[in-house]
Structure 1
Amino acid sequence: MASSVLYPPTQRSPAGALALSQQAPAILRSSPSTVSSSPLNALLSGSEKSEMWLQYENLILSCLRTGDDQAAHQCLKRLVARFGTDNERVQALMGLVKEAEANNNGELEDVLKGYGEILSENDTNVPIAKRRIALLRSMGRLADAASALVQFLDFSPTDPEAWSELSDIYLSQGLYPQAIYAIEEVLVLAPNAWNVCNPTIPRNLSPMLMHLSQIHARLGELQYMAATAPGVANGSSQKYLAEAIKRFSRSIELCDDYLRGYYGLLLVSKKLLNDGAKATKQPEDSEFALPDTSTIERLNELATAKLSEIARHSASHDRGWRGYSEAEVAAARELLAVGESAVKR
């Protein structure tokens, strides 16, 4: 079996998901079509490997993304035969397949009802609880999704993935303080996520796969959005901007050449320099005091230089600079171009 099938599907681009789903027929042919559900027989036969079940699960996700429902059903059938329909992960995958095949809201409501019935028998079924929350959000029922997440976190308060999802939902509703609080919980729960630094990995990952610098950068983005929201008081705005600078700086310190960190740092420093960082009275709390103007200018120059370097090397496809998101590189070039036009004027 291809080892690439073991990679988390959240790290795959659409093209990568398509390439994997096209391997599904060959992988299924090379795997045993039936495996005993007895742990003893599976142990003695020697034909079962734990990686095989993870591959089936990842194949299901990729095949559903690309519309290959037939291969997804074959993988699901083998998981059901091995682990049974009472297995919580299998139940979640069964529900996910039904969601993907639903043609209208009525069918999605039926799936949602099925999740509710499972949870009524076992309200600690984590995979089903998460699928229900995800389905509520995809149906546009944000208030219900947020309420379900809060309820989920009551019995599982140490789940960083749930806190991250709650932060995103609060953000979509314009509730910036709540979104910031939720992502701060992710930071508290994943303080040691520092050992897999990769500046080219996008932000939209499970927190379990995110580097600590990515979490800091996300927090900085929320702080910046809160600072620039309509109606925010000037004192609160400067407090948010001061915290945003700290978060973006920390993300860069933890991961060299991290595009989102430098982009955020340039964005915040530009705003502070344009608005006049010392134009208003600084907060009394030194923890949230802005740096002096010369420091902000130096940070602005650093972020400009690094973003220019990343954009230049990425465009040339230089070795060691590949893998950045094209959309993020384009956004960086656009931000740099705005700065250049301002200097020319």
Structure 2
Amino acid sequence: MSSSDLALSVLDLVPVRADQGSGDAIAASLELARTADRLGYTRYWLAEHHNMPAVAATNPPVLISMVAGATERIRVGSGGVMLPNHAPLVVAEQFALLEAAYPGRIDLGIGRAPGTDPVTSWALRHGAGGVSDEAVNRFPEYVDNVLAMMEPTGVGLDLRGRTHVLKATPSARSVPTIWLLGSSDYSARLAAEKGMPYVFAHHFSGSGTAEALELYRSSFQPSPELSEPRTFLTVNAAVAETAEEAERLALPQLLQMLALRTGQPLAPQPHVEEAEKRVADGLPPGHDDLLEAMRRRWVVGDPGAARAEIEGLAASYGVDEVMVHPVAGAYVGTDPAAAPGRVRTLELLVR
């Protein structure tokens, strides 16, 4: 595979900085999406996280509608919808409607993790099971339900001795591409069994990627929708004109991930200057090593080095698409409705 054959895509968590309200963060993400659309990126996926002060991506279908409406050609999808949080019919209806409005441009990425804390998981269903063991255990069934409900013919629901046809939308002419997402081998095995495309969360886990992809590929069973395995790689990236500048811009998100991994209180993302001050003042024992271990799994550097590293990862894992999660932060005084570091990361990777 030559470098020109490598497709690039974008993952967006809609991060919220200390100087931003939710509306500012959304405005910055819309600018990022328009940049990705203009530069020829393949797809733009939005995550689902709840009750996190630094993340505004709480509702992927709503954000997908905003992004698809603000762009012209790029595929837009979820990375992903955490299916145990939701009734399968609701998810099927949302994405069938999005596909009807933007035919051929919608992806539905489905995950099994809660994407939040247990209390918020309970509240998502108003106490009606929440993300209980039952909901997680029924994940394969929920996936089948979503797949069937979005088919133009719908699915037959047997109730009280009668069969009722249930459709996600009354007149579907196309169906979104449906992906399974995961950070363990569970979803790899399930995607292979069902003949579905699959993505391992390399940007989050950073370990076990090769094993998960090998399991998926080696046990893949062809389906009517997919004749052979289909996957890509996700990676955190901060790119700037110089390697030194890229390292500075990556630091705020590194500290956010450090807080998440060590159980510290989560807060909106700090500016670069505040992040540097925290590191200069000294991190708790052992945190420096954890910070450096996370940093080694990220792509942080100047354009040439970053692009070469991404191409190397694609070759190593045997994929022809890499989804970049742009993690570059911002300096004090940056327009709250903009994220120039994230925009510049996308621009520099394809220049």
TM range (shorter): under 0.3
Q: Which has the higher helix share?
A: 1
Higher relative contact order (CA closer than 8 Å, sequence separation 6+): 2
TM-score, reference length from structure 1: 0.28
Query: Greater CA radius of gyration, 1 or 2?
Result: 1
TM-score, reference length from structure 2: 0.28
